[in-house]
């Protein structure tokens, strides 16, 4: 029996939180998405970031949403070192929880209402 290669989709431009959520909603188990390349903790920190404030804020939202999706059991988060102080941040889709008949959009709405 052969092995299946892992293919990671890499965005041509920085992803938004909404685009990440859309990917999570339609991804099948095993799908991989590189949602950031760099050093995330430094890239969102104002003192070290080379990004404009608006892009840095969007990247922080994206990182938080990726972590949230992992906590919900929707994705695994992995990092791949691409060079010194450079990483590819990858979300790997997990099987959707069978017990949860709630859609991703309903989870997002419930989170927003609780805030």
- Residue 1 is assigned to a structural domain of this protein: no
Distances (CA, A) of 105 to 18, 22, 33, 47, 63: 11, 9, 19, 34, 18
> Please, what is the average pLDDT of the chain?
85
Quick one: 15 exposed, middle or buried, by C-beta within 10 A (0-12, 13-18, 19+)? buried
**Whether the predicted pLDDT of 103 surpasses 90:** no
- Residue 2 is assigned to a structural domain of this protein: no
Return all residues near 108 (Cβ < 8 A) that are at least 6 apart. Answer: 21
Q: Return the CA Rg of the chain.
A: 15
- Residue 110 is assigned to a structural domain of this protein: yes
Total domains, the chain: 1
Residues 1-10, mean pLDDT to the nearest whole number? 62
Q: Of 35-49, 79-93, 96-110, which gets the smallest average pLDDT?
A: 96-110
Q: What is the CATH number of the domain that holds 88?
A: 1.10.10
């Amino acid at each position: 029996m052969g092995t299946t290669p892992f293919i990671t989709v890499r965005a041509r431009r920085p992803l938004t939180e909404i685009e990440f959520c859309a990917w999570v909603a339609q991804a099948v188990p095993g799908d991989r998405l590189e949602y950031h390349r760099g050093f995330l903790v430094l890239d969102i920190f104002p003192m070290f970031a080379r990004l404009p404030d608006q892009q840095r804020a969007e990247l922080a939202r994206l990182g938080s949403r990726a972590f949230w999706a992992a906590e919900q059991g929707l994705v695994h988060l992995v990092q791949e070192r691409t060079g010194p102080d450079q990483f590819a941040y990858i979300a790997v889709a997990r099987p959707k929880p069978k017990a949860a008949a709630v859609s991703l959009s309903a989870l997002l709405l419930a989170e927003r209402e609780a805030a």
